[in-house]
Amino acid sequence: MSLSLQTTTLQASSTAAAVVYTAAATLNSTTAVVASSFVASVSELVADSANLVTLLQATGIATLVADSATSDSKKPQLISALVAGKDLISLIPTLRTLARQRSPALVLHVPVSSASDVSDVLAVRDSGCAILRSTSQQGAVDYALAASIAAQRLGTPIVHCFPAGSADSIEFQGYAAASTQEAIGAYLQTEKPSSESVHDVVSQALAVVVGEKRELVSYFGAEDAQVVYVTFGDVINREAIGAGVGVVQVSLARPLNSEALGQVVPASAKRVVALEHVRRAPTGWGPLFFDLALVPWEHRPILLNAVSSSSAGLDALTSEQLNAITTHVLTLASPAHFDAATVAGIPEDVNAPPHSQDEDEPNEATTVGAYGQLLRDVFGSRLRVANACESQSIWGNGGRAESTPEFGFGRLAAAAQERTRLVAAVTALLRDVSVPLSRELHAALAEWLGARDNPLVASAGAAAQISELLKAEAASNSALGDVVGLQAHFAAQSDWLVGGDAWAYDVGGSGVHHVLSSGMNVNMLVVDTAADPTAVQRGGARKKDVGLYAMNYGSAYVASVAVYASYAQVLQALAEADAFPGPAVVVAYLPQAASPIGVLQQSKRAVDEGSWPLYRWDPRHDPGSFKLDSEKLRRELADFLKRDSALAAVARATPKLSAAIAPVSVEARAGDRLARKARGDVDALMAGLTVSGPPLLILYASDGGNGEEAARRLARSARRRGMTVQCMAMDEYDFEELAYERTLVISVSTAGQGEIPTAGREFLKALLATSANLSETAFAVFGLGDSHYWPRAEDAVFYNKPARDLDRRLAELGARRIVGPGLGDDQDADGWEAGFGAFESDLWQALNLDVVSSAADEPEEPPARTDEENKVISNFLRGTIAQAIADTSTGAVDEWDGKLLKFHGTYMQDDRDVRAGRLARGEEKAFSFMIRVRLPGGVATPAQWLAMDALASEHGNQTMKITTRQTFQLHGVLKRNLRETM
């Protein structure tokens, strides 16, 4: 495309039009223009360009990027887009993805005319993109072309912001020169060094465009300045700078060249001020201030932050106003921030619309913390914080009842019910053809009904429009009464509950559980303010991991964020939580510290060390539902996996170790394996010469004794069939022998939330880690579980999970499945034994051992007694319970007495945490009993409560629970204390 531009066209065009023209024409990029307000100003310039794409929404850029990434063209792709600053937040996921993929090249051109526009640009500063700012009309075009060249060279997305306005002083002729075109092509073709900094590449690209070197970090002012102001692209009138004052103008804010900045600031500077023309930041401190905190100062000055959100830019500061700011700066002796406009006496912008609050908007306390302000910035008038989240409740100092999540959840549940009634009323109204509706009202209601959860369609403006139409017709149409009465719910709200880490100490009672289990579209923001987020506080009470607790539900969006560590990730998490059609939990870190630098340091330390990992988890995306956003942790994890993969590849390629480097223990173990294999071969040979059946290994991991009982039954039945049987707990078995076993049967119970019992954990770990070849092993697995233990449909995955995991892993290692996994269900009429009977029958039939040997030494096992038969012969449920309690040789009771005790509301248990250690020492399990109390009507007096609490402390393990059966349960009661406790 020719680079000719008519003078009349140039004078009538905006800077935005000139920027787009440069991108579309000079580098032949695919150019996107977002928002109709831009189209009129650029269409006349690029109407003859086939590369111009008009997008209705900024999110369409992601589609352009995806299409370009899958293009067959080998030519480097460049996408330029003109977007408004307010649309940048929606592009954070695209920027973060491109920052890692580095293809295609993307440049976003953003016109700025106010402090809010600059704030919108800096909101994406942690998304991995470079941020460049030009400050003049000619510079806008120069920097636009340099940004496009740098983006192609680096593969890093670049956000270029430039001053909005007319383009009456832009000179285009230099870009059309053949020498400029050749210089650009030659630079893009030069061989890349092993590493290039963004600062160097942008600087070099700018030199190619303008023909001379331009500094991206420049200083002007007194050589012996005591006070130095640092600005992001803002130009301060040089005539306004007084004695002892200097100014550093930074054109490339991300990544900031800290070394260059530290070098240009005079050593005489005692105070360095981040002077920012931005909207008041949610953290109270401007983003440039935190960049200054990371500069390696040779002589560290006092760092200050001056923020101005006035409509007048910093270039409008007079010498008197700047002197007033400097005088105030000299009075500050420690890090502080202040409003530069107020100090300079600049009046407030009278044209700024006043902010109005209504009942559903967050009160003043909502904006006390950084995250409350962030919610307001992201969602604006859509935000509805339903609980009174005053600062004292966030910082763990109590709070009103209205600050609790239960209160807010009740409000949101009521609002959801009202909106459901509105949907029903609108649906009935549109279906009733006898109701006269104007064409405009019918179309508006139909559009709302089809996209009522889309905030772009069901916006506050659209809701107001529908309300006006209803008002105009309601007087003459009584059928509109129900809809008019519910019209307050037309707008789609972003519903939030905001609270502190006090909610993490009782996730069940605090309301977190109720929100997650409800399935409603409610978002929770839980702010953790502890300096050490992993510390145990409040008298030793354990703080729960709310994020992990929420992920266990499997139906909630979960994110962990830290505003002082990654601002862009917080914005992305909040937007994703709002878009998720169900409950969402965002846990946010905001440590208490004496200074903002201390907050920054603690946040960075917690994130980098892993005590507060940044992540996002969306259960709808599988695989890829979990995204680790902590950059350092992700790099370390990638390095670890890379090393692990490399070692695994070496092990597969050269499985034998040299005798020169192999330790003696490895040689000895290799010899043992050969000896075991030889013994196995001899056993197999002898088995073939004798009449005995094949050897059988039976392993079990039991939670309450049933898993072991099933294994013992199989062992007895196998011996009656002439087999040589070994029967033992999983962790008692030498795992290295597994490859030499011919027939393996496993009986495993289900503990907790789909976990394997303690006696099988080490075996399962070894099985998951091994790469052994089990092709000569035949196996079968029987599992015991309760299909209704976790009643929700999404928790069905936990039913008999250990059995299914073992079955799948053994098959993956090449073992041959004898029969499919047998599943015993406690919900069956005969309990787990129903599934066990079918499994045992299929097993012996598959092994051709369904006929019992007549020479079996062991007698046939009598059928197990049913619970009803036990009751009949138990002497009115007495059995031998008294004798069992009097027996001090063991802390347990036998199986029969254990069943009888259940009829009395008492269950025998053991401490799983110490089980493995006690078994290893040859001790019996740490048995204790649970006692369920009879409490008529579920009503207890204060005296009864205190008595139960005393019993739990004196005879139990200090645990007292209230159950769904409306009564108390005592736990940890030893057998010798059963009678006295009852």
Residue 303, SS3 per DSSP: strand
Residue with tokens 């270029």: 160
112 or 672, higher pLDDT: 112
Q: Which of 114, 131, 96, 134 is nearest to 15 (CA)?
A: 134
* pLDDT (tens digit per residue) in 654-666: 554 443 344 444 4
Residue 62: which pLDDT band, with cuts at 50, 70 and 90? Answer: confident
Q: State the average pLDDT over residues 635-651.
A: 69
Name the burial class of residue 714, with classes exposed (0-12), middle (13-18) and buried (19+) by CB atoms within 10 angstroms of its CB: buried
Least confident of 445-459, 474-488, 910-924: 910-924
The token duo for 493 is 């709200």
To the nearest whole number, what is the mean pLDDT of the chain?
77
Q: Are 617 and 587 within 8 A, CB to CB? A: no
Q: How far apart are CA 354 and CA 838, in angstroms?
A: 75
Q: Which of 122, 125, 160 is nearest to 20 (CA)?
A: 160
Residue 778: which pLDDT band, with cuts at 50, 70 and 90? Answer: very high
Q: Give the per-residue pLDDT at 744.
A: 93
586 or 503, higher pLDDT: 586
**pLDDT over 80 (residue 384):** yes
* pLDDT (tens digit per residue) in 749-759: 988 778 888 88
Q: State the average pLDDT over residues 153-159.
A: 86
In the chain, the amino acid numbered 536 is V
Residue 130, SS3 per DSSP: strand
**pLDDT over 70 (residue 171):** no
CA distances (Å), origin 26, targets 14, 41, 172 = 18, 19, 11
In the chain, the amino acid numbered 41 is S
Provide the percentage of residues in the chain whose pLDDT is more than 90. Answer: 8
Q: Give the per-residue pLDDT at 459.
A: 80
Q: Give the per-residue pLDDT at 292.
A: 84
Helix (H) or strand (E) holding 895: helix 895-903
Q: Give the per-residue pLDDT at 810.
A: 93
Residue 782: which pLDDT band, with cuts at 50, 70 and 90? Answer: very high
Q: Give the per-residue pLDDT at 664.
A: 42
Residue 523: which pLDDT band, with cuts at 50, 70 and 90? Answer: very high
**pLDDT over 60 (residue 64):** yes
Q: State the average pLDDT over residues 58-83.
A: 68
Q: How far apart are CA 245 and CA 256, in angstroms?
A: 22
Q: Give the per-residue pLDDT at 657.
A: 44
158-163 and 724-729 strand pairing: unpaired
